[in-house]
Amino acid sequence: MTPDPEAAACPSPEVAYVEAPRITVEMSWVAGAAADKEFGEPMGREFWLRKVALLDRIALSEAETYAPEDAAAAVETAEEAAGRLADFDHTHYTTRGPIKPLLNPPGRSYRPYVRQEYLAWLTAHTDS
């Protein structure tokens, strides 16, 4: 991945996820939300955002704990999921932060975008 100059405007993982529930709690929420939907019923943005942020957090943990080749699958999964969230937000006009989802040229990471969106969602969620 090419470094993204706009990523500096997005929160770091430490800032974005400081108030996030534990990874196991988020895993349970994502699994429960998926199980509660009827087959074929579309999942909402909250589901996709929380799932993608969960995958990002897992990838961060894997990259911190293991050798790059051992963490590669988790990182790749997080990258792909981040791109799908950016596409969802672009299609549905659901971006919350200042960095818009499809401004990044191919080859740049959308994971900073996910952190921006998760922090905006979490802030709004805890303020309500």
Side-chain-side CA neighbours of residue 13 (13 Å): 13
pLDDT tens per residue across span 65-121: 999 999 999 999 999 999 999 999 999 999 988 888 876 567 789 999 999 999 999
Q: What is the pLDDT of residue 9?
A: 78
| pLDDT tier at 126, thresholds 50, 70, 90 | confident
Q: Give the structural domain span for 95.
A: 5-127
pLDDT tens per residue across span 2-55: 555 556 678 999 999 999 999 999 999 999 999 998 888 889 999 999 999 999
Cα of first residue to Cα of last residue in the chain, in angstroms, is: 37
Q: What is the pLDDT of residue 99?
A: 83
* Statement: the pTM of the whole predicted model exceeds 0.85: yes
Backbone angles phi, psi at 126, to 5 degrees: -80, -20
Closest listed residue to residue 79, CA positions, set 112, 40, 44: 112
Domain count along the chain: 1
Q: What is the pLDDT of residue 107?
A: 76
